[in-house]
Amino acid sequence: MSEPPRGMDIHGVEARAARPSASLMLTRDGDEGVELLLARRVDELPAFPGYWAFPGGGIGRVDRSAVELIPSLAQMEDAVEAATHAGMHRELVEELGFAVSERGQLFRVNPALRDRILADKSEWMKAVMSGDLPLQVDAFIELTRRTTPEFASMRFENRFMFMHCTSEVPEPALEGQTEFDEFRWIKPSIALQEWYANEIKIPPPIVTILQEVVDLQSEFSSMQEIADDICLRQPPERTILFAPGVECIPIPTATLPPATTTNSYLLGMAGGEHILVDPAVRSEEGIARISRALQRMSDSGGTLLAYLFTHRHMDHLGDIDALLALMPAEVWASQETADALASGASRILLDGDIIVLKNPTGNSLWSALITPGHCPGHVCLNSDAGLVVGDMVAGIGTILIPPAEGNMEVYLEQLQRLNNINAHLLFPAHGPVLPLPQKVFNHYLKHRQIRHDKVLSIVEDGTSSLDDIALLAYADTPNAHPILARQQTLSHLLSWQRCSRIDSQDGLWSPL
């Protein structure tokens, strides 16, 4: 991402509407206390690959049709709620091979019937209507709702359902489905311990649900009581924890579409020292979001050391006076970014600097990396939790290398440098957390190198004007914005010029 180039209209760009979805928290009484079922999402999935999650999925046409055709669903007052129950029962069959009996117990579905449902979702509705599958609409209660933040390209309003199993639970049947490759029954506290140790990945909303469950286990004697309490308490805003000590705060900004926000990151553990990365506040809404995050930090006993800016683009720099009015703290940045700030910076970050954040259980260490290419003085931050990558890669859209100050060959070198770190996760400035860092970096490196070589080949074949070169270079991407295509093409051309492979005279490019 970057600031939109001059002449590019971004008005009217809005976050996508959220679609309904559901997931199910299944619990049982284990030998050492309550256990919940987590399943590992396969690495090929576009969302949360490799994460341990609850079964569930989107609410679709079959589920809405079921509300009209199945009497027990049609009797429910809320059609979306009814479709949610239908979808969750269907997903339970598809993903785990389970259905709920009339006695409220989980049982294994006939494999042949399940295969038919996996091949055609409407077979689930037919099986319920024919009596081949039971449908207990009161088997699940709605625990809580979470909506995907506006930084995502695909958004869901997810209803987290709950069921506590009071009898023996059969083993999930993972064969045939393509969502999960492993499952575990695990105590919520153990799941959180492994997450805090960066041993497993768990989606942010499930992390906060597990935290609530663990906090309540000392107050209530049963899982059902805990679930009932969570249902009653519905805080208006939830923290988005990408990793331990990494809270994401999406801030509305005038950034490059399709993004509409810049991710600010509050780094630090509860009760300890924190830094706030890229608080790009330029509006009342942005200030309000940062204010609430800082208040939560203070309420937990935390302190703020500094506001840290990854680079000088306006969709990353915030109103520093407004930030200091919220909470006084130092300003940290690279020299290039500090030079763009009216008041400079309290600390100039250098490549290799170690940032120590003290907390009640120890220290969190973040190392600063100066990674130019997208912007001079661009800073990344690395820790055991993952890599704050700023605008080196994005979780939505693309990364623009501005011709005026970017450097394509340096950008590619820095991408390879970051790839060599083998980070646990990537925390981009735009879009959701990126769970497979090397896959992302390898994609960027391959894609950019192909485009880079293509631009050189086009010039060597005799095409000379920027517009014509851009048209040919982006022939495989017809939906690319023409201004962005020209800007990126020019960055490639300038790179080849610096390498003495081509030159420009009177606006026309030719090989040397």
Give the DSSP letter of residue 360.
T
pLDDT at 388: 99
Report the Cα–Cα distance between both ends of the chain, in Å, rounded. 32
Write out the chain's pLDDT in tens, 512 residues. 555 555 555 555 566 788 999 999 999 999 899 999 999 999 999 999 999 999 999 999 999 999 999 999 999 999 999 999 999 999 999 999 999 999 899 999 999 999 999 999 999 999 999 999 999 999 999 999 999 998 888 899 999 999 999 888 999 999 999 999 999 999 999 999 999 999 999 999 999 999 999 999 999 989 999 999 998 887 666 799 999 999 999 999 988 778 889 999 999 999 999 999 999 999 999 999 999 999 999 999 999 999 999 999 999 999 999 999 999 999 999 999 999 999 999 999 999 999 999 999 899 999 999 999 999 999 999 999 999 999 999 998 889 999 999 999 999 999 999 999 999 999 999 999 999 999 999 999 999 999 999 999 999 999 999 999 999 999 998 888 889 999 999 999 999 999 999 999 999 999 99
DSSP 110-175: PHHHHHHHHH-THHHHHHHHHTSS---TTS-EEEEEEE--TTSSS-EEEEEEEEEE-S--PPP--T
Q: How far apart are CA 84 and CA 57, in angstroms?
A: 10
Give the whole-angstrom CA distance, residue 297 versus residue 273.
9
- pTM given for the model: 0.93
DSSP state of 4: P
* Pairwise CA distance, residues 397 & 447, whole Å: 14
DSSP letter assigned to residue 21? E
pLDDT at residue 17, as a whole number: 83
φ, ψ for residue 427 (rounded to 5)? -110, 95
Write down the pLDDT at residue 6.
56
Q: Hey, what amino acid is at 245?
A: G
The residues pairing with 330 across neighbouring beta strands, listed in sequence order, are: 306
Q: Shortest CA distance to 379 belongs to which of 355, 361, 360?
A: 355
Q: Supply the pLDDT for residue 7.
A: 53
- Cβ neighbours for 321, distance < 8 A, ≥ 6 positions apart: none
With a CB cutoff of 8 Å and minimum separation 6, the contacts of 352 are: 367, 368, 369
31: number of Cβ within 10 Å: 5
d(CA 87, CA 70): 13
pLDDT tens track for 379-437: 999 999 999 999 999 998 889 999 999 999 999 999 999 999 999 999 999 999 999 99
- Distance CA(240)–CA(149), nearest Å, equals 9
What domains are there in the chain, each with its CATH number?
19-232 (3.90.79.10), 240-435 (3.60.15.10), 452-511 (1.10.10)
Q: Are 290 and 276 in contact (CB under 8 A)?
A: yes
At residue 267, φ and ψ (nearest 5 deg) are -100, 130
Instruction: Give the C-alpha separation, 204 to 240, whole Å.
Output: 6
